[in-house]
Structure 1
Amino acid sequence: MTYAASQYQKQSGSYLSSREMEVMAFRHVNSLLTQAKDHEKKVAALAANLKLWSILSLSVERVDCPLPSVLRDDILKVGSWSMRYSNAAFNAPKDLQPLVDVNNDMIEGLSANTKPPVLTTTSSAYAGTTGQSSLELVG
C-alpha cells in the first residue's frame, strides 16, 4: 500500500460517528436495492445487504457491545430475517421493498438524536417485563 493510501485509510471515517457511518451504509445499500433492475444489480445489492447485516450482527454479538441486551436481541432477530430474505431473493422473483423498509427503519432509529429515557420501576410502562424482547412485547 502506498503512503498516501495508508494515510487516507487511517483518516477515513474519522469525521463521522459510528452511528453516522452506519446510517451511510444503510443508505448506500438501500440505494443499491432500489436501483437493482436487472439480475446482476440485484445480486450485487443483495450481497451488500447480506454483508451489512452480517457485520452488524457480529458486532452486537460481541461481549463488549455496549447496547442493552433487549436491543441486541432485537437487532439480531431483524438481521436474521433480513439475511434469510436476502438469501431467498437471490434467485427468486422477490420484491426487495421489504428489505428497503427494514433498512429505512434502522436509518430512522440510528438518526434519532434523543437519548432513551431512564426508566424506573414506577414510571416504566413495561414494569415486570425485564428480559423480554421489545418485539415480544409488541406482539
Structure 2
Amino acid sequence: MARSAYAQPASPVRTDRGTEYAVFEKITARMVQAENSPRGVGQKAAAIHDNRQLWALLAGDVATEGNALPPALRAQIFYLCEFTMIHSRKVLKEGASLAPLIDINTAMMRGLRGEAEAA
C-alpha cells in the first residue's frame, strides 16, 4: 500500500500553462489538417469553431480584473482574439487562408513554452 502511494502517477500532472499549450496544439493541428485537406468547408468550419471558442475564453479571461498578466500582454491577447474572429469570418465567407490563424496559435504555443520570439 505504501509503495503505491509514492509511485509515479498514471498520467502526468499538467500545469495551467501545459493545459493551454495542449489545447492550442490540438486545435492548431486540426486547422493545419483542414487547410491541407480537399474535404471542403466542413472540416475548416469545425476547426475554426473550436479556435474561436478558445480565443473567446482567452479574451474573457484577460478582460477580468483578477487576471495576473501584465496589462500590455492582456491587451495584445485581446487584440489577437479580435483579429482571430475577423479573419475566421474571411476564411468561411471568402475562402481566405487559415495560415494567419495557424501562425498566431503557433506563436502562442512558443510563448507558452517560454521560447523567445524569433522575429
* TM-score, scaled to structure 1: 0.68
Give the structure with the larger helix fraction.
2
Question: Is the Cα contact below 8 Å between 1:33 and 1:45 reproduced in 2?
Answer: yes
| Alpha-carbon distance in structure 1 between the residues aligned to 2:73 and 2:41 | 34
Match of residue 63 from structure 1: 65
How many pairs were matched up? 102
Identity score, percent:
27
Does residue 1:27 correspond to 2:25, yes or no?
yes
Deviates more, 1:15-24 or 1:82-91: 82-91
Give how far 1:14 is off: 8.4
Q: 1:97 corresponds to which residue?
A: 99
Alpha-carbon distance in 1 for matches of 2:45, 2:115: 34
Q: Which runs of 5+ in 2 are unaligned?
A: 1-10
- How far did residue 113 of structure 1 move? 7.0
Give the letter for the 2:92 counterpart.
Answer: F
1:34-113 equivalences under 5 Å are 34-36=32-34, 37=37, 38-112=40-114
TM-score, normalisation: structure 2:
0.79
> Which AA in structure 2 matches 1:74?
Q
Matched AA of 1:91: K
Alignment CA distance shift 1:64-1:106 (3 Å)? same
Root-mean-square deviation (Å): 1.8
Tell me, yes or no, if the aligned pair for 1:49 and 1:83 is still in contact at 8 Å.
Answer: no
Q: Which runs of 4+ in 1 moved over 2 A?
A: none
> Any stretches of 5+ residues in structure 1 without a counterpart?
1-12, 115-139
